[in-house]
């Protein structure tokens, strides 16, 4: 057990060092600002340490009644004022540099994280809760920024203050300085003890917060379903359970971090008392002047004060590193295999598609697509039907190369799609899904997403073809009406019409219609089917449908079950065979 705990601690320590190294790589871009900040920190520390010397000199000039050299005292006071003003200016410029470094590093990390999200394969997004990903990119990076800013603001000056004060004290009086040095290690032990326990606690806090964000995101996006099935109480209980865990781990992390300050203050008091008592004996024997002793007491206070700050910074840095580790885990995720340098760009696409001995499964132990073979001629309409979970949408994912087949080949115009750029392959398909997606913007911008340079006339023509023009015209600003994320106040059917209009505008050589009219009323569906029929003329089309009445005109119907094609033919042929397709069809039109 002890050996296991040791291995766990070693892994955590290695993880922290790796994370710290990655943070330093991001900071390295701003080395000039870091150098300026360090220089200004040194100037600030020097001036701060110089003021007690001036104060001590002024005290030594106060010899007694009628023996005060006011001219020399006022001269020292002017120097103190100048030193204080210079210190304030240096600190202000240093803080500006630190803010610039911190927020530019945070910007770079967020950009890299967002860019990596665009490069990650869909299987990563399918396997991770959206809320957790959002929490990493937003909340964790914000927490990291707070810790990094505190590190720059207080860590540099704290370390330099400790070193500078020690040098000044050794120059002034070695025996008293040794008293300070002997008590100092206690602060290091306190800081090390606390830091060693806070990292794992803050990491657990960050992970639990991500779980909570994920739940909130999921529930807000599906509130209608929650209410429809009266799951409010169950969701509330689940939230309270996560919230309770977050409370427990947060309290532990905050408790350990909160004892840092009083612990180091206790050590500081020991140092100050030691300097005062020992220095008083030295002063009585004439080994140090009263002014120098007051200077030493000021140094003792300044020497120990950074330990408070540094111990607090160390605690915050543990939290920051824990959050940084989560965001770097996302950035370091393996991106999808990039297009090869000699990948072909599809331009003039005839639309022939073939699948040869294709095997695929989302999870290795659960087989899905097994030895799938299909030959589609240019302009052919292929319908794919079958029970839920048989692999219909999976075939579409493979055609669009959202997932790569485990083995076998998929060819478009005779070229393996692995040797075709993803961009040109997907541009060659027009895709309408059952799940609609619209972004914040105008109706016009949403329709011309696939063709940004489309003219207003082309947009309106596409909307008319999709039978969306009439409801768009009734909107407050027509095509310039701004809709919120995912369609705002539009009905599901209206949103689907806009998605269909989007494809109508592009008119790609191949089409994929995955339950494209599932949310549209029957009358409008007939009109859309007619529009689709015109659009599909001369274009290779793949149609996934549960309503079998919508695929009667397909050239070939593939009947799938358990990832395999069990029947194939046109509508009349499959009905006459009296097989599985006939059962499906008759079950929909019984009586």
Residue 421: pLDDT over 70: yes
> 330-365 burial, b if ≥16 CB within 10 A, otherwise e?
bbeeeebeebeeebbebeebebbbbbeebebeeeee
Tokens standing for 207? 């992970």
| Residue 132, in any domain of the structure | yes
**Which tops the pLDDT comparison, 309 or 456?**
456
Residue 372 included in any domain: no
Q: Using the CB atoms, write b or e for 377-392: b if 16+ within 10 Å.
A: eebbbbbbbbeeebbb
Residue 262: is its pLDDT beyond 70? yes
What is the pLDDT at residue 519?
63
What is residue 308's predicted lDDT score, i.e. its pLDDT?
Answer: 64
Question: Is 62 found in the same domain as 191?
Answer: yes
Residue 264 lies in a domain: yes
Mean pLDDT computed over 54-69: 69
Burial of 323 from C-beta contacts in 10 A (0-12 / 13-18 / 19+): buried
Residue 88: per-residue pLDDT: 92
Which of 53-62, 231-240, 433-442 is the least confident region? 53-62
Cα 580 to Cα 387: distance, rounded to the nearest angstrom: 10
The burial class, CB within 10 Å (0-12 / 13-18 / 19+), for 456 is exposed
The maximal CA–CA distance of the chain, rounded, in angstroms, is: 125
User: Mean of the pLDDT values across residues 489-513?
Assistant: 83
pLDDT band at 215 (very low <50, low <70, confident <90, very high): confident
The percent of residues in the chain predicted with pLDDT above 70, rounded, is 89
Domain count across the chain: 2
Alpha helices by DSSP H, listed for 347-409, are 392-399
CA–CA separation, 544 and 499 (whole Å):
16
Is residue 191's pLDDT more than 70?
no
Q: Is residue 304 part of a domain?
A: yes
Higher-confidence residue of 351 and 296: namely: 351
Q: Bridge-partner residues for 366, per DSSP?
A: 363
Determine the pLDDT at residue 580: 84
Among 80-84, 416-420, 536-540, the minimum mean pLDDT is found in 536-540
pLDDT bracket for residue 68 (50, 70, 90): low
Q: For residue 106, what are the CA distances in angstroms to 119, 121, 217?
A: 20, 24, 24
- Higher per-residue pLDDT: 130 or 421: 421
- On whether the CB atoms of residues 494 and 467 are closer than 8 A, the answer is no
Let me know the angle formed at the C-alpha of 465 by 462 and 468, rounded to the nearest 5 degrees. Answer: 80
Could you tell me if residue 284 is inside a domain?
Answer: yes
Q: Given a cut of 60, is residue 482 above it in pLDDT?
A: yes
Clarify whether residues 162 and 310 are in a common domain. yes
Q: How many CB atoms lie within 10 A of CB 518?
A: 17
219 is a domain residue: no
- How far is residue 590 CA from its own chain's centroid? 51
Q: Is the pLDDT of residue 85 over 90?
A: yes
Please identify, among 507, 527, 550, the residue that sits at the C-terminal boundary of a domain: 507
Check pLDDT > 90 for residue 324.
no
End-to-end CA distance of the chain: 70
Q: Are residues 165 and 32 in the same domain?
A: yes
> What is the average pLDDT across 531-545?
80
For residue 22 the two structure tokens come to 């990655």
pLDDT over 60 at 260, yes or no = yes
Residue 436 CB coordination number (10 Å): 21
538 or 111, greater pLDDT: 111
Instruction: Identify the pLDDT of residue 89.
Output: 93
pLDDT of amino acid 1: 52
Bigger pLDDT: 141 vs 517: 141
Q: 336-345 contacts: CB < 8 A, separation 24 or more? A: 336/119, 336/120, 336/121, 337/404, 339/421, 339/422, 340/419, 342/419, 343/419, 343/420, 343/421, 344/415, 344/419, 344/420, 344/421, 344/424, 345/420, 345/421, 345/424
Chain mean position to CA 105: 14
Reply yes or no on whether the pLDDT at 100 is more than 80.
Answer: yes
Looking at residue 459, which CATH number applies to its domain?
3.40.50.300
Compute the CA torsion angle 116, 122, 126, 127 (nearest 10 deg): -60
Distance CA 83, CA 294 (A): 19
Structural domain contains residue 542: no
Asked if pLDDT for residue 491 goes beyond 70, the answer is yes
169 and 302 both lie in a single domain: yes
Least confident piece of the model among 233-247, 279-293, 350-364? 279-293
Query: What pLDDT does 326 receive?
Result: 85
Summary mean pLDDT of the chain: 80
The answer on pLDDT for 4 being more than 60 is no
Q: Does 243 reside within a domain?
A: no
Average pLDDT over residues 139-150: 81
Query: What pLDDT sits at residue 192?
Result: 66
Q: Is the pLDDT of residue 569 over 60?
A: yes
Of 149, 141, 112, which Cα lies nearest the Cα of 322?
141
Any idea which residue has 């612990």 for tokens? 263
Domain boundary among 331, 353, 385: 331
Phi and psi, residue 95, nearest 5°: -65, -35
Confidence of residue 41 (pLDDT cuts 50, 70, 90): confident
Contact, 155 vs 41, CB < 8 A? no
Residues 39 and 171 in one domain: yes
User: Are 196 and 47 within one domain?
Assistant: yes
Q: In which domain, by residue range, is 113 found?
A: 2-202+258-331
Q: Are 456 and 310 part of one and the same domain?
A: no
Q: What pLDDT, on a 0 to 100 scale, did the predictor assign at position 93? A: 92
Residue ending a domain, among 297, 331, 365, is 331
**8 A C-beta contact, residue 395 and residue 385:** no
- Residue 471, pLDDT > 80, answer yes
d(CA 584, CA 150): 66
Given this model, what pLDDT does residue 485 score? 67
pLDDT band at 187 (very low <50, low <70, confident <90, very high): low
CA distances from 104 to 91, 124, 149, 200 (A): 20, 28, 11, 27
Q: What is the CATH number of the domain that holds 74?
A: 1.20.1560.10
């Amino acid at each position: 057990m002890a050996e296991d705990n040791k291995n766990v601690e070693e892994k955590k320590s290695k993880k922290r060092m790796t994370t710290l190294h990655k943070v330093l790589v991001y900071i390295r871009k701003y080395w000039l600002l870091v150098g300026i900040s360090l220089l200004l920190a040194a100037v600030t520390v020097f001036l701060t340490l110089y003021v007690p010397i001036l104060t001590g000199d002024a005290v030594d000039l106060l010899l007694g009644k009628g023996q005060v050299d006011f001219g020399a005292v006022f001269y020292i006071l002017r120097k103190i004022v100048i030193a204080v003003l210079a210190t304030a200016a240096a600190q202000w410029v240093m803080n500006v540099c630190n803010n610039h470094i911190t927020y530019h590093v945070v910007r770079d990390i967020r950009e890299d994280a967002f860019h990596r999200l665009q490069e990650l394969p869909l299987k990563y997004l399918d396997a991770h809760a959206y809320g957790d990903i959002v929490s990493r990119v937003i909340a964790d990076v914000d927490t990291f920024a707070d810790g990094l800013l505190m590190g720059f603001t207080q860590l540099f000056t704290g370390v330099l203050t400790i070193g500078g004060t020690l040098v000044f004290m050794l120059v002034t009086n070695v025996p008293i300085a040794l008293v300070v040095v002997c008590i100092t290690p206690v602060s290091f032990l306190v800081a090390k003890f606390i830091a060693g326990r806070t990292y794992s606690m803050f990491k657990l806090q960050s992970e639990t917060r991500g779980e909570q964000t994920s739940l909130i995101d999921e529930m807000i996006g599906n509130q209608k379903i929650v209410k429809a099935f009266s799951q409010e109480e169950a969701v509330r209980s689940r939230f309270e359970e996560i919230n309770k865990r977050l409370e427990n781990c947060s309290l532990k992390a905050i408790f350990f971090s909160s004892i840092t300050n009083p612990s180091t203050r206790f050590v500081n008091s020991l140092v100050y008392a030691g300097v005062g008592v020992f220095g008083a004996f030295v002063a009585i024997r004439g080994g140090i002047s009263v002014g120098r002793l007051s200077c030493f007491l000021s140094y003792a206070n300044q020497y120990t004060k950074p330990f408070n700050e540094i111990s607090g910074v160390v605690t915050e840095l543990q939290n920051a590193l824990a959050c940084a580790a989560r965001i770097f885990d996302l950035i370091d995720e393996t991106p999808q295999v990039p297009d090869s340098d000699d990948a072909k760009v599809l331009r003039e696409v005839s639309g022939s598609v073939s699948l040869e001995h294709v095997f695929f499964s989302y999870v290795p132990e659960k087989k899905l697509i097994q030895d799938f073979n299909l030959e589609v001629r240019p302009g052919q309409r292929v319908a794919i039907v079958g029970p839920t979970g048989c692999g219909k949408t999976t075939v579409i994912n493979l055609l669009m190369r959202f997932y790569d087949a485990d083995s076998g080949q998929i060819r478009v115009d005779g070229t393996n799609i692995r040797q075709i750029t993803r961009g040109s392959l997907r541009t060659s398909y027009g895709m309408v899904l059952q799940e609609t997606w619209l972004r914040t913007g105008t109706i016009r911008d949403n329709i011309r997403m696939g063709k940004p340079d489309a003219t207003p006339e082309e947009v309106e023509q596409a909307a008319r073809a999709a039978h969306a023009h009439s409801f768009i015209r009734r909107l407050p600003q027509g095509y310039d009406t701004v809709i919120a994320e995912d369609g705002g106040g539009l009905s599901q059917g209206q949103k689907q019409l806009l998605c269909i209009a989007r494809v109508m505008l592009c008119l790609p050589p191949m089409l994929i219609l995955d339950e494209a009219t599932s949310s549209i009323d029957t009358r409008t569906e007939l009109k859309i089917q007619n529009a689709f029929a015109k659009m599909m003329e001369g274009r290779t089309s793949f149609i996934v449908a549960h309503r079998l009445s919508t695929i009667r005109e397909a050239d070939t119907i593939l009947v799938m079950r358990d990832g395999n094609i069990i029947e194939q033919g046109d509508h009349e042929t499959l009905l006459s065979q009296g097989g599985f397709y006939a059962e499906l069809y008759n079950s929909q039109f019984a009586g």
